[in-house]
Amino acid sequence: MAEPRVIIVGAGPAGVRAAETLVAAGLRPTVVDEGRRDGGQIYRRQPEGFARSSAELYGTEAARAEALHATFDDLRPKIDYRPGHLAWNVADGHLHVVHDGSAEALPFDALIVASGATDRLMPVKGWQHAGVYSLGAAQIALKSQGCAIGRRVVFLGTGPLMQLVAAQYRKAGAQVVALLDTSRLWNQIRALPKLVSRPDVLAKGVGLAASHLLAGTMVRRGVTPVEIFGDADGGVSGVSVRLASGRDLRLACDAVALGYHLRPETQLADLARCDFAFDAATRQFWPVIDEDGRSSVPGIYLAGDGVRTQGADGAEIAGKLAALAVLTDRGRSAPTEQISRLRQQRRAMERFRAGIAEAFPWPHHLAAGLADDTVVCRCEGITAGELRSVVHDKGADEMNRAKALSRVGMGRCQGRYCGHAAAEVVAAATQLSPAVVGRLRGQAPVKPLAIRTRRAAP
């Protein structure tokens, strides 16, 4: 009997643990990863020849990063590892990939999508100026290139990632001008009953927050972003916010790191025709999965931040569960005690995730207050006013119709960075829920392909 063809998309925490579990069961999975090296975003490995220590790169998570890297190094000869491969479509039992301009369709019996997450962003007037980065991009610059996005950096948004990246920048020697948080301290206090489900992680978060105060970094909570100042020649020059007291604060800077948590990379799940459901707590659509990661489509499994943003250790658990689900569904023996223990751990992760969403809420109300000349879609230069116009003048009360009539989400990022905010703008303009307005549907290719892309030789 032929061995099942199992493909894993992503070599981050979820993908590595899924591969480890399958290899332990005697399989040789194919691991497709867009990155040049393993580790994903959170444990991204620095390029060959760079010599920063794990402690410098990963801080309190250094030991976990080293363990994951060591596991993957041991797995390399036991898997079909394909770095630098962009997975751009799923159709008819094949994963379509492209590498160095060469396209290939890989057949599979089971597909584990561990595609990770990207930043969730809310536009602010002036965010199209050079020098405005997402939090993830700011972190990539530090990890992959050993450089900061600016000399005087303001961090604007909310969530643990903002605290983490700001601490990494400060440790690297960059000047962190301020942390401007849209959430209030009361949000975090109210979420404590959920957050204590993972006391070790909560303690790390408290320690990060305290480190900024001890370093004398300006921290302001409950702010309302007003504008990022700058021009086409010089880029960013400053940031203005309204404080909780109602007073306006303007700070000089040459870069802004912006972000509001993460959003799962769900495009491949969408192309695989997986069912989605709206999550009212976070105001976004997520793929539907069972407790082990099975999607609504037989043979498609979803794991890690690509389906639920539960953090790196939560992703590791999800990757193991998805791999065990593959084994079970293929008639292979899977340890029931291990599955039960992992499910229990995942439930704790889910409770903590709900606490994070409550402690650092997505500021959806800001979309209604965006000035008409605020750019929402940076790729296409579409403003909030243009979006409202297609709603009021052309009846675009659904996101894909708004996309067709305005071009929002048609640019290089395919709506990754504007889709959620655009949905909030349309929802506010129509006075409908985002659950009714809907989401931008995934389109192949999920990321742009070079014109020179050719079919691989047989």
What are the tens digits of pLDDT across the range 367-393?
999 999 999 999 999 999 999 999 999
Instruction: Collect all residues with Cβ–Cβ distance below 8 Å to 173 and sequence separation of at least 6.
Output: 148
Does a structural domain hold residue 445?
Answer: no
Output the CA angle 442-446-451, nearest 5 degrees: 135
Rounded distance, CA 97 to CA 81, Å? 13
Are 303 and 319 within one domain?
yes
Does a structural domain hold residue 179?
Answer: yes
The pLDDT-based confidence of 458 (bands split at 50, 70, 90) is low
Are 19 and 102 within one domain?
yes
329 in the Ramachandran plot: left (φ > 0), alpha (ψ -120 to 50) or beta?
alpha
Digit-coded pLDDT (tens) for 189-209: 999 999 999 999 999 899 999
**What is the reported pLDDT for 215?**
93
Are 86 and 137 within one domain?
no
**What is the reported pLDDT for 1?**
53
Are 162 and 242 within one domain?
yes
Q: Virtual CA dihedral for 193, 199, 202, 208, nearest 10 degrees?
A: 150
**What is the reported pLDDT for 173?**
87
Digit-coded pLDDT (tens) for 421-432: 999 999 999 999
How does the average pLDDT of the chain come out, rounded?
A: 93
Domain that holds residue 146: 121-260
Does a structural domain hold residue 453?
Answer: no
Digit-coded pLDDT (tens) for 100-122: 989 999 999 999 999 999 999 99
Domain CATH for 110: 3.50.50.60
Q: Where are the alpha helices (DSSP H) in 128-246?
A: 135-145, 160-172, 185-190, 192-195, 199-214
Structure tokens at 75: 């797995």
Q: Which of 242, 260, 278 is the last residue of a domain?
A: 260
Bond into 335 cis (ω within 30): no
Does a structural domain hold residue 455?
Answer: no
The pLDDT-based confidence of 457 (bands split at 50, 70, 90) is low
Instruction: Collect all residues with Cβ–Cβ distance below 8 Å to 304 and sequence separation of at least 6.
Output: 10, 12, 13, 14, 15, 114, 115, 116, 314, 315, 318, 319
Does a structural domain hold residue 316?
Answer: yes
**What is the reported pLDDT for 372?**
97
**What is the reported pLDDT for 10?**
95
Are 143 and 189 within one domain?
yes
Does a structural domain hold residue 391?
Answer: yes
Percent of all residues in the chain with a pLDDT value above 90, rounded to a whole number: 81
29 touches 23 (CB < 8 A)? yes
Are 300 and 252 within one domain?
no
Q: Which of 317, 323, 290, 291 is nearest to 305 (CA)?
A: 317
Does a structural domain hold residue 446?
Answer: no
Q: Which of 210, 232, 260 is the last residue of a domain?
A: 260
Are 415 and 393 within one domain?
yes
Rounded distance, CA 323 to CA 75, Å? 15
Q: What is the CA radius of gyration of the chain?
A: 22
Are 141 and 248 within one domain?
yes
The pLDDT-based confidence of 5 (bands split at 50, 70, 90) is very high
**What is the reported pLDDT for 66?**
87
Does a structural domain hold residue 52?
Answer: yes
Out of 197-201, 251-255, 300-304, 316-320, which region has the weakest mean confidence (pLDDT)?
197-201
Looking at the 3D structure of the chain, how many domains does it have?
3
Digit-coded pLDDT (tens) for 240-296: 999 999 999 999 999 999 999 899 999 999 999 999 999 999 999 999 999 999 999
Residue the block writes with tokens 């658990």: 317
Are 130 and 181 within one domain?
yes
Q: Which of 356, 389, 418 is the last residue of a domain?
A: 356
Are 101 and 130 within one domain?
no
Are 412 and 333 within one domain?
no
Digit-coded pLDDT (tens) for 29-67: 999 999 888 888 888 877 776 767 777 777 777 788 888
Q: Which of 147, 137, 136 is nearest to 174 (CA)?
A: 147
Are 130 and 241 within one domain?
yes
Predicted confidence (pLDDT) at residue 360 exceeds the cutoff of 90: yes
Digit-coded pLDDT (tens) for 204-239: 899 999 999 999 999 999 999 999 999 999 999 999
